[in-house]
Chain A
Amino acid sequence: MRNLPTIELINVTKTFNEGRVLAVDNISLKIEDSNYVFLLGPTGCGKTTTLRMIAGLEKPTKGTVVIDGKDVEEIPTEDRDMGFIFQHFEIFDHLTVWENVTFGLEMRGYEENYIIEKAENALRTVELLDYADEFPSIFGNPGMQKLGIARAIATGAKILIMDEPLGSLDPKVSKVFRHELRNLIKDLGLTAIHVTHNQEEAMAIADKIIIMRAGRILQMGTPYELYENPNSIFVANFLGETNFLQGFVLKILDNEEMSIWIRLGGPKLNCNNFGNKFNLDDHIVISFRFEDVYLFPKDYEFESSPYDWSKIQLFNAKLETSRFIGATKRFYLTLDNGDKFLSIKPGTFEESFTAGEELIIGIHQDDIHVFKAPKNLIYELSLS
């Protein structure tokens, strides 16, 4: 059984310019073996610095990096069993595909038979063996990245370090190739750490996502965990599309569900599991996903429908417009007080609503998250 490495960061801090710039601020994390992990965050959040410390390209100012149970402070990059894939490939274009893969093996002084076996296997794995004698310039970007992976696995890398590997790809190509990239790395059983600022890419590929902001880790977990239970306005906003409405705590109920009543501009909402986090009159922000907003015509007969509506919060809103964008259809809605929010449905959703129509909106209690209102919500939601 192959023993694959785990990676651990313990209280790691990194400063630049003699302490004047704090890039990474006392973070701890653990990456399990064979996991495809993303470091995700906006520009300047410290994700690339974190990646470079794992790779040994930067030394932590404080704290420890542990790989496979060993403190790697004294282990240089080339001895950490890592392969590197960057946005701008670092493929030698004056060497053939074959030479690009064998180059690293020759540098390490392996025997010829061993080199041939390793290079053949690696190129076959990424389906580039037929192009062994060609120069890499015949490839598009995905071919280049696959060659990078072949080079990494030929040298026995157990960990792939990737910094925006899909960053230079055409959006259409990137949307297709990202699934191929994930499948390839999962099939190889590699541990992969992938840095990006692109949340869709992270959601589509990751086993686990670590969300960073201003040098700190805000939240980590599977895409499902983060998407369903964001721990902050930032995370709720950064992953997926989310409505935010401001309101006040109207009533705190002393019941099992620890529910609170919230007054928005017009409607009142009942939310569960928040009773112990807020006080009466607290200024709060509620969030709910676009796709979690149900739409009903004004005359919908809830009594005669077979569903259980007890946990669905219903309120009135006006439909401004809708827009078909392919896989989804977007509905733009307004509350009585002018607050705007959105609902999305599958593109084939049958809708007989017209612009300007009054609708009934439904949101399941469990789909509503409540946060303390920040000083400036607009600023909090503006990320790039």
Chain B
Amino acid sequence: MVKINLDNVSKSYKKFNALDHISLEIKDKEYFIILGPTGAGKTTLLKIIAGLIKPDSGKVLFDSKDVTNNTSGERNLGFMFENYALFPHMNIVENISYSGRVHARDTRNTKTLVDQVLMMTLLTGRDDAMPEELSGGMRQRVALCRALLNLEQTKLLILDEPLKALDAGLRMSLRRELLLMAKSKELELTVVHVTNEQEEAMMVADRIAIINQGKVIQVGTPNEVYYHPKNLFVANFMSEINYFDGICKKEEIPTWDILKESKRGDKFYAEIHKVSIPIPVDIGMENLFAAYIPKDRIGEIQNGDKVLLVIRSNHMKIRLGNRVQQKRNAILGKIHRRKFMGVFYRFEVKLNVKNQEKIIIVTIPATSEIHHTFLENLEVTVYFPKELGILFKHPGENVIKEVLKLE
């Protein structure tokens, strides 16, 4: 069993607060992702868990036992950090099976395990290759194999951006393999995995901790952080978003029944209705808009408060022509730019809100119909299902600017 608790952990370098009072629980057999932008403190946090750095204050507990002062070796874990090093004078198999633990095993078993990890990482047949003959991506896969093979005695795997330098296709399949391996009946690992890629986190995590500027912003399942982000930072980090300034009209009766569930009674929307409450919002259009807010956050917003209405670009819908009267949460606009991106088509739609020009991003599955008929400069209606609108108390222009700035 490996359960990890971080209790009020802080760490600073000179005047820079790398980690600021972090408390987390990582459950036994959990695939736990630490997600955040560059410089958020992710790697420092991981190194504290691995015992490579000591926190300035706070405690690290493994299975409720205080290991804050124990070395990495005493903590019994397998890890792969970003700056892994291979032994240049050893071939692939020698590199990955170089470990006291592996040597102590019977050789037949070791051979099977080696073959298994080589196959998983598409390195089968390259056993004799030397590190210098390999591409960067291959070397990274070798390092990953080595971390996996070191796992015999331990049930805790620590990974720091393990798939970073790999080509997109291989990265996707390895994420899947990592998850299957961690969850396999033979291994049942606890994994702590650091990444700055939202997609990677969603692919593998049981739960995700989103970290920014040394603080834990939100911890939750992929579903929770995606559909119920705690603030604008999390909402924006998980995908491309659109936002509108608005005013909460809690007490007003909206012009359309926002409580009504969709006719189809879809499971997905019904789920959201169960945990959330609809709120009418005035964003300065003729009709009131509506969005849902989780029940536990309902107290945050009072009638008349300034709010921020956030909609993910992939939750926006788009139709040709003027359908504003037929649709809810709908605005008339014009396709300003469009770009085919593969699975999705991305539109920048220019519209008028409060007599000001605004660009809304809409990404929808690319079909040949979209390709041939949704052309630039055409009039379109963009709208969104109220269940997918995300509401925050307005954080102020400065916060919005800070969150959305590109650095």
Interface residues of A (CB under 8 A from B): 42-44, 139-143, 170-173, 175-177, 179-180, 182-183, 186, 197-200, 203-205, 222-224, 227, 237-241, 289-291, 323-328, 332, 344, 346-348, 350, 352, 378-379, 381-384
A224–B407 Cα gap in the complex (Å)?
Answer: 31
A143 partner residues in chain B, CB cutoff 8 A: 406-407
A-B contact pairs, 30 of them (CB 8 A): A43-B136, A43-B137, A140-B406, A143-B406, A171-B196, A171-B198, A182-B339, A186-B337, A197-B167, A200-B342, A223-B340, A224-B340, A227-B342, A237-B169, A241-B169, A289-B343, A324-B223, A324-B226, A325-B199, A326-B222, A326-B238, A326-B314, A327-B312, A346-B314, A346-B365, A348-B315, A378-B122, A383-B169, A383-B170, A384-B138
A81 CB to closest chain B CB, in angstroms? 27
B340 partner residues in chain A, CB cutoff 8 A: 203, 222-224, 227
Q: A179-B348, A204-B339 are in contact. List 4 more A-B contacts (CB 8 A).
A: A42-B167, A241-B169, A290-B343, A346-B365
B346 partner residues in chain A, CB cutoff 8 A: 179, 204
Binary per-residue interface labels of chain B (317-359) against chain A in the complex, 1 for a CB within 8 Å, 0 otherwise: 0000000000000000000010111111010100000000000
A239–B167 Cα gap in the complex (Å)?
Answer: 11
Residue of B nearest to A222 (CB): B340
Tell whether, in the assembled complex, residue A176 and residue B240 are in contact, meaning their CB atoms are under 8 Å apart: yes
Most buried by A among B198, B346, B363: B198
Number of CB contacts from chain A to chain B under 8 A = 130
Given contacts A170-B196, A173-B407, A352-B267, contact A327 B314 (CB under 8 A): yes
B203 partner residues in chain A, CB cutoff 8 A: 323, 325
Most buried by A among B124, B202, B267, B371: B202
Is B388 engaged at the interface, CB distance under 8 Å to the other chain?
A: yes
Residue of B nearest to A205 (CB): B339
A44 partner residues in chain B, CB cutoff 8 A: 135
Interface size class for chain B? Answer: 35 or more
B210 CB to closest chain A CB, in angstroms? 12
Tell whether, in the assembled complex, residue A240 and residue B337 are in contact, meaning their CB atoms are under 8 Å apart: no
A237 partner residues in chain B, CB cutoff 8 A: 169
Residue of A nearest to B223 (CB): A324
B198 partner residues in chain A, CB cutoff 8 A: 171-172, 326
Residue of A nearest to B180 (CB): A321
B358 CB to closest chain A CB, in angstroms? 15
Given contacts A183-B337, A346-B365, contact A326 B239 (CB under 8 A): yes
Tell whether, in the assembled complex, residue A347 and residue B343 are in contact, meaning their CB atoms are under 8 Å apart: no
A227–B125 Cα gap in the complex (Å)?
Answer: 31
- Which of chain B's residues 174-215 have a Cβ closer than 8 Å to chain A? 176, 196-199, 202-203
Tell whether, in the assembled complex, residue A344 and residue B238 are in contact, meaning their CB atoms are under 8 Å apart: no
Interface of B is mostly: mixed
A156–B343 Cα gap in the complex (Å)?
Answer: 37
B169 partner residues in chain A, CB cutoff 8 A: 237-238, 241, 381, 383
8 interchain residue pairs of minimum CB distance: A140-B407, A384-B137, A384-B167, A325-B202, A142-B406, A382-B122, A327-B314, A170-B38
Tell whether, in the assembled complex, residue B167 and residue A324 are in contact, meaning their CB atoms are under 8 Å apart: no
A290–B168 Cα gap in the complex (Å)?
Answer: 15
Residue of A nearest to B122 (CB): A382
Is B32 engaged at the interface, CB distance under 8 Å to the other chain?
A: no
B125 partner residues in chain A, CB cutoff 8 A: 379
B289 partner residues in chain A, CB cutoff 8 A: none
Is B254 engaged at the interface, CB distance under 8 Å to the other chain?
A: no
Tell whether, in the assembled complex, residue B170 and residue A384 are in contact, meaning their CB atoms are under 8 Å apart: yes
A66–B337 Cα gap in the complex (Å)?
Answer: 32
Is B165 engaged at the interface, CB distance under 8 Å to the other chain?
A: yes
Given contacts A179-B346, A382-B122, contact A172 B196 (CB under 8 A): yes
Given contacts A200-B168, A224-B371, contact A326 B406 (CB under 8 A): no
A381 partner residues in chain B, CB cutoff 8 A: 122, 169
A226 CB to closest chain B CB, in angstroms? 10
Residue of A nearest to B197 (CB): A171
**Per a CB cutoff under 8 Å, which of B167, B196, B222 touches A325?**
B222
B36 CB to closest chain A CB, in angstroms? 10
A227 partner residues in chain B, CB cutoff 8 A: 340, 342
B342 partner residues in chain A, CB cutoff 8 A: 200, 203, 223, 227, 239-240
Given contacts A172-B37, A176-B240, A381-B169, contact A348 B339 (CB under 8 A): no
Residue of B nearest to A237 (CB): B169
A316–B166 Cα gap in the complex (Å)?
Answer: 33
Given contacts A199-B168, A348-B268, contact A327 B239 (CB under 8 A): yes
Tell whether, in the assembled complex, residue B268 and residue A383 are in contact, meaning their CB atoms are under 8 Å apart: no
A367 CB to closest chain B CB, in angstroms? 10
A24–B341 Cα gap in the complex (Å)?
Answer: 28
Tell whether, in the assembled complex, residue B237 and residue A172 are in contact, meaning their CB atoms are under 8 Å apart: yes
A328–B365 Cα gap in the complex (Å)?
Answer: 10
Tell whether, in the assembled complex, residue B199 and residue A326 are in contact, meaning their CB atoms are under 8 Å apart: yes
B183 CB to closest chain A CB, in angstroms? 10
A322 CB to closest chain B CB, in angstroms? 12
Tell whether, in the assembled complex, residue B170 and residue A327 are in contact, meaning their CB atoms are under 8 Å apart: no
A287 CB to closest chain B CB, in angstroms? 12
Given contacts A43-B136, A173-B407, A241-B169, contact A344 B197 (CB under 8 A): no
Binary per-residue interface labels of chain B (123-140) against chain A in the complex, 1 for a CB within 8 Å, 0 otherwise: 011000000000111100
Is B172 engaged at the interface, CB distance under 8 Å to the other chain?
A: yes
A172 partner residues in chain B, CB cutoff 8 A: 37, 196, 198, 237
Most buried by A among B165, B341, B348: B341
A187 CB to closest chain B CB, in angstroms? 10
B405 partner residues in chain A, CB cutoff 8 A: 140
Most buried by A among B167, B223, B238, B371: B167
A215 CB to closest chain B CB, in angstroms? 16
B165 partner residues in chain A, CB cutoff 8 A: 384
Is B266 engaged at the interface, CB distance under 8 Å to the other chain?
A: yes
A384 partner residues in chain B, CB cutoff 8 A: 135-138, 165-167, 170
**Per a CB cutoff under 8 Å, which of A139, A183, A323, A347 touches B314?**
A347
A205–B38 Cα gap in the complex (Å)?
Answer: 23
Tell whether, in the assembled complex, residue A203 and residue B407 are in contact, meaning their CB atoms are under 8 Å apart: no
A326 partner residues in chain B, CB cutoff 8 A: 198-199, 202, 222, 226, 238-239, 314
A179–B343 Cα gap in the complex (Å)?
Answer: 16
A40 CB to closest chain B CB, in angstroms? 12
Tell whether, in the assembled complex, residue B197 and residue A328 are in contact, meaning their CB atoms are under 8 Å apart: no
Residue of A nearest to B138 (CB): A384
